[in-house]
Structure 1
Amino acid sequence: MWKKLISNPVILTGLFGCILATGGCAGQPAPQANQSIVAGDTAALQQMVLIPGGTFRMGADDSTGMPDELPGHTVQVDSFWMDTHEVTNREFAAFVAATGYITTAEKPISKEELMQSLPPGSPEPDSSMLAPGALVFSPPDHAVPFDDVSQWWRFVAGASWQHPEGPHSNIDSLANHPVTQVSWMDAQAFAQWAGKRLPTEAEWEYAARGGLREQVYPWGNEALTAGKAKANTWNGNFPYRNTTTDGFYGTAPVGSYSPNGYQLYDMSGNVWEWCADWYDANTYLRDEKGVTNPAGPGKGFDPDDPGQPKRVIRGGSFMCSDEYCRGYRVSARMKTTPESGLANLGFRCVRSVAQRRQ
């Protein structure tokens, strides 16, 4: 049954439709735990670095960019603090221990919520489709069409941040790896507890560029494959053969590669990162005259899947390669529904300069 749903182009356009992101799809609820989220003992959290404000050219101006990265436009951002690396399993565990928070992937979905996400006339789901779980990367052993993501993703009941590949897995040896299988609401809840927030898309791209002007990657224009490994990406033939030339098959411990000019790690590859903004494919067309501290559109619009509003994700992941994704370019944009929990999606936080630094 899930295979049919994963193969449905209406549901799985772009990255993933709401149906694949257990925990509810009816509306976009505010982040909430099973108890009040209050600023707690954040001593286990990482240090932040100051990103000096400035003006930059956001997006792409040439053939290196996708349509939703065009046109390049001038954006100004104020200074802000940013996590040096993606939020780790250790940090997320501290949040859960302090608050008792239950993530989206750990909650069952109701039949009513599921039906709202399906095309009209779809049959009612059986009970197996309502169990908590998330999408797990399950690569084939042969070449497959890139337009059928069901060839390398499958829904696994019991998959969650603590069991990223399903009930048989755990994070015992992954304390310093980025937390995954967390929804946008989960990331928001963590940020609220930590006294931080998610970055705007503009802040994220500005920080990823590391002070460089109109370069393709956080390290400049040198090809990803030139010289020593620069990021955790897919090496070989996606999705069936990974040579692990960069040292890792899946996620890597944060900080495994050289930082960019702002001393930020993994702004390219490892896991995609949630941003605060709604995704709108046409945002840059409206912003080309330049804006200051843009917070993104008021609602989401994905022309490939207009019935499912999505949030922006940035930075690419260990599954990106030149032949498939290229999401590790600093201007690359991707999107998925706020409820989505994925094996290659995490987040990092920021804090406005006006806020008290921990």
Structure 2
Amino acid sequence: MKIKKLILLATLGAFIASCNSGDKGQLVGVQGKKWHPEKPYGMTLVPGGAFIMGKSDDDIAGVEDAPTKTATVRAFYMDETEITNSEYRQFVYDVRDKILRKKLAEMADLEGKTPGNGDIGEFAYVDSEDPELLNAYERYMLNTYGDQQRKINEDVELIFDTDEFPDELYAEVMDGMYIPLEESYNGQRTWDVTQFVYNYTEMDIQAAARDKSLKRSDVISQRDIEIYPDTTAWIRDFAYSYNEPMHNDYFWHDAYGDYPVVGVSWEQAKAFCQWRTNHHNNYQKEKGSQPVNVYRLPNEAEWEYAARGGLQGATFPWGGYYTKNDRGCFMANFKPMRGDYAADQALYTVEADAYEPNDFNLYNMAGNVSEWVNGSYDTSSYEYMSSINPAVNDPQNERKVVRGGSWKDVAYFLQVSSRDYEYADSARSYIGFRTVQDYMGTEVTKNARK
């Protein structure tokens, strides 16, 4: 008995020692994993700093819309190019595949099919064969919240070749993903893109901070967004004009893979940001790393600061007042002459990395396509916005700011200080977007005192 007591006391003493040995009774804080900033692929770091925002010339109307003011923005990462067709297709295909996997799992469950027979059962829910295949947390979530928590099998490859469909049930599900047979054109059945709906939740942090009486559920909203670009914009935007080839080929054909995506509304651009955040954080979770900051649309001040590339008072991203360089070559893709869209060597858009980048290594901050920003258009917003990280985005104002000018615009709209707008649910053949991500830390500044 005495030996047992001695062992118990020794064990207790070792436990107490282990609890206190790390900090030696001192306040040392919780020691987490060391954080190393990681530049996202395809992005560049825009160092924070102050700049003169707005019009600085004799453009009286423009000065009324964008009066000069000093603004300061924090450091952030920004896409070096506008989001391309290829990058946006990754989003579309990922959403499509998840919807397809869900439908296959539901069909397999309905028909009582399970893995192991080489049929649609291979795509059944993970728990369909044995609930023990789920971990404890997954089993708890399934038992507590029901079928919406059932785990989809992501490991088996989807089959798109009709000659390789495993059975008729698989063919039935695939048939439902395409437009009806009677609506096929020239023997081609295309995807029913109205089914490509991305579901995500959004939290209004601003509203929550202003009104503490609001519950968390009051500021969280469920969003269901059809994400496929509106390719008909190429036809609707230009009356009495032949642009059918762009409507038919621009988004999906590999010839245009490196060109900026267009026909995307402000709401779809925000959905893309949400998907990109989740996509990146799913990978972070798999390798046991901390989550990254959200990807989002830049606000007006961030966009203009980045477009200026560190140049104070510049008219264009390359500086100066002219759209040509010293060799007489145009510096951007726009409409340089009345009726002559091709004088700058481009009729419509060009590759997203065409022309020279600015001093922040950002391409086409002027011309090619206008870009959505996370701001509502108000002619007086510069008067009341904050001078530190200024942002004005009124959820009730559907007029959202676009910046940078496009392939169909005159040079005025290419100026870094020019503002324009479009409605949030509108999709145009000349509006695209790029994303930003907040930098973790504050030590990176462009114009800090030495």
Q: 5 Å matches for 1:261-276?
A: 261-276=359-374
1:181: how far off? 0.2
Instruction: Using structure 2 for the length normalisation, give the TM-score.
Output: 0.52
* 1:347 pairs with one of 430, 433, 436: 433
- Partners of 1:222 and 1:62 in 2: CA distance: 11
SS of the residue 1:274 aligns to:
strand
Mapped contact 1:61–1:72 kept (Cα < 8 A) = yes
Corresponding position of 1:200: 299
The one-letter amino acid of 2:387's match is V
Q: 5 Å matches for 1:72-221?
A: 72-100=68-96, 107=194, 134-136=232-234, 152-153=238-239, 165-167=246-248, 171-172=252-253, 173-195=255-277, 196-221=295-320
- Partners of 1:314 and 1:265 in 2: CA distance: 14
- Partners of 1:299 and 1:67 in 2: CA distance: 25
Q: Deviations over 1:295-342 (max 9, x none)?
A: 2143566xxxxxxx31111100001124xxx11000010101011111
Mapped contact 1:312–1:333 kept (Cα < 8 A) = yes
**Residues 46 and 176 (structure 1), Cα distance of their counterparts in 2 relative to 1, 3 Å cut:** farther
Structure (1 or 2) with the greater helix fraction: 2
* 2:340 pairs with one of 232, 241, 250: 241
**Residues 175 and 340 (structure 1), Cα distance of their counterparts in 2 relative to 1, 3 Å cut:** same
* 1:48 pairs with one of 35, 43, 52: 43
Unaligned runs of 5+ in 2: 1-39, 100-192, 196-229, 278-294, 442-450
- Partners of 1:66 and 1:169 in 2: CA distance: 34
1:321 equivalent to 2:413? Answer: no
1:167: how far off? 4.4
The one-letter amino acid of 1:295's match is A
- Partners of 2:354 and 2:427 in 1: CA distance: 24
Corresponding position of 2:58: 63
Q: Which has the higher contact order (CA 8 A, sep 6+)?
A: 1
1:220: how far off? 0.4
SS of the residue 2:306 aligns to:
helix
- Partners of 2:330 and 2:52 in 1: CA distance: 27
- Partners of 1:235 and 1:277 in 2: CA distance: 28
Q: Deviations over 1:244-273 (max 9, x none)?
A: 222110000011100001000000000010
- Partners of 1:264 and 1:168 in 2: CA distance: 27
SS of the residue 1:236 aligns to:
coil
- Partners of 2:240 and 2:41 in 1: CA distance: 33
Q: 5 Å matches for 1:267-286?
A: 267-286=365-384
The one-letter amino acid of 2:347's match is Y
- Partners of 1:184 and 1:155 in 2: CA distance: 25
The one-letter amino acid of 2:400's match is R
The one-letter amino acid of 2:434's match is R
- Partners of 2:66 and 2:89 in 1: CA distance: 39
**Residues 261 and 69 (structure 1), Cα distance of their counterparts in 2 relative to 1, 3 Å cut:** farther
Corresponding position of 2:400: 311
Moved over 4 A (4+): 153-156, 167-170
Count of residues in Structure 1 that have an aligned counterpart in Structure 2 = 254
Instruction: Using structure 1 for the length normalisation, give the TM-score.
Output: 0.64
**Residues 211 and 205 (structure 1), Cα distance of their counterparts in 2 relative to 1, 3 Å cut:** same
- Partners of 2:240 and 2:358 in 1: CA distance: 34
SS of the residue 2:418 aligns to:
coil
Q: Deviations over 1:219-239 (max 9, x none)?
A: 0014003432211111321xx
Larger radius of gyration: 2
The one-letter amino acid of 1:218's match is P
**Residues 276 and 298 (structure 1), Cα distance of their counterparts in 2 relative to 1, 3 Å cut:** same
Corresponding position of 1:146: none
SS of the residue 1:332 aligns to:
coil
- Partners of 1:311 and 1:234 in 2: CA distance: 23
**Residues 193 and 216 (structure 1), Cα distance of their counterparts in 2 relative to 1, 3 Å cut:** same
Corresponding position of 2:356: 258
Corresponding position of 1:36: none
Unaligned runs of 5+ in 1: 1-44, 109-131, 139-149, 302-308
